[in-house]
Amino acid sequence: MTKHPSRHLISLDDLADSEVRDIVEHGAALARRSAQGHRATGTALAGDVVGVYFRKTSTRTRTAFSSGALRLGAGLVTYGPDDLQLNTGETTEDTGRVMAGMLDVLVARTAGEMGELRAWAAQQRMAVVNAMSAEEHPTQGLTDLTTLTQRFGAVDGLSVVYVGEGNNSAAALALGLSRYRGVRLELRTPPGYGLDGSVLARARRSAAEHGSDVSERHDMDRLPADFDVAYTTRWQTTGTSKPDPDWRSVFAPFQVTDALMEGSPKAVFMHDLPAHRGEEVTAEVLDGPASIAFDQAENKLYSAMAVLEWSRALSA
């Protein structure tokens, strides 16, 4: 196995269609093997060192990349929010230059703007993976596509209803689904809390190129019939707050309930977790037979492993 200059994952927009599909298919294959009782391990990253730097809380993403790196044979260095000299005034550029001389991959959750991540990615010695920024959660998007592939066999042709805030997970979902053919994504977001206009425009352009459709409404009237997936995220996105003190009343109608799911009895329910039962989703749906949210969470591991292998540009 030969390792070439590292590749970065800052936004799904940075990836070609073929790269998205390769990562997703590899992650889904690892998930299938695990379901058959074959533990996902390997030596693809043997000799590599992966840094995991999280300024914000994380259960699934941090554990997935840490566990995935170890399962692929890499060493691991972890940093908390107060561990780097960034806190004492060292520049972003200097920090990235130092890390690139010591790490092979840096998985970072800043929950801020992407500019810092792109500054670190201005080299090819160390791969940089965006584990969530304010604008986008690309590794979540790849996990979602992996889960859909595992469940349905393919993403092409699926109908997805997203209910809730147009946050970074919704952005990644829109940018990811729009790469597939014949997909219909309808976002139902509260007034004033929709998907960022530039993200929506990019997703729509990509969808048009692939014969798909991405739309957004700010009400819960006339939901589409016969959808395959209902998806939501928690109302209070990690690392954010809402300036409107009455925001909960605005969000209240945007809840996934049994009544919503009954409109498409064969549909599955997805959630990026953590979940707040009784807010964005009822306990009956999250813990019910249609829910694949915890399969989706486990798939973070397999998707992370696929991203790590892709980032190191491995070839035979």
Q: How confident is the model at residue 241 (pLDDT cuts 50, 70, 90)?
A: confident
Domain count, the chain: 2
What does the alpha-carbon distance between residue 266 and residue 276 come to, in Å, rounded to a whole number?
Answer: 24
- The CATH number that applies at residue 18 is 3.40.50.1370
Alpha helices in the chain (DSSP H): 17-35, 60-71, 92-100, 115-120, 138-152, 168-177, 197-209, 247-251, 258-262, 283-286, 293-311
Residues 171, 84 share a domain: no
Residues 306, 213 share a domain: no
Residue type, 250: V
pLDDT at 316: 36
Segment 68-93 shows an average pLDDT of 95
pLDDT at 239: 65
The residues, any chain, with a CB within 8 Å of residue 123's CB and separated by 6 or more, are 96, 97, 100
Residues 172, 193 share a domain: yes
Q: Which residues constitute the domain of residue 22? A: 2-136+300-315
The answer to whether 72 touches 45, Cβ cutoff 8 Å, is yes
The residue length of the chain stands at 316
Write down the pTM of the prediction: 0.95
pLDDT at 252: 97
Residues 293, 156 share a domain: yes
Q: What percent of the chain clears pLDDT 90, i.e. is strictly above it?
A: 91
Residues 122, 92 share a domain: yes
pLDDT at 174: 98
Q: Which two tokens stand for residue 49?
A: 């060192």
Instruction: Read off the pLDDT of residues 172-201 as tens digits, 9 standing for 90 and up.
Output: 999 999 999 999 999 999 999 999 999 999
Q: How confident is the model at residue 300 (pLDDT cuts 50, 70, 90)?
A: very high
Interhelix angle 138-152/293-311, rounded to 10 degrees, is 120
Segment 229-248 shows an average pLDDT of 87
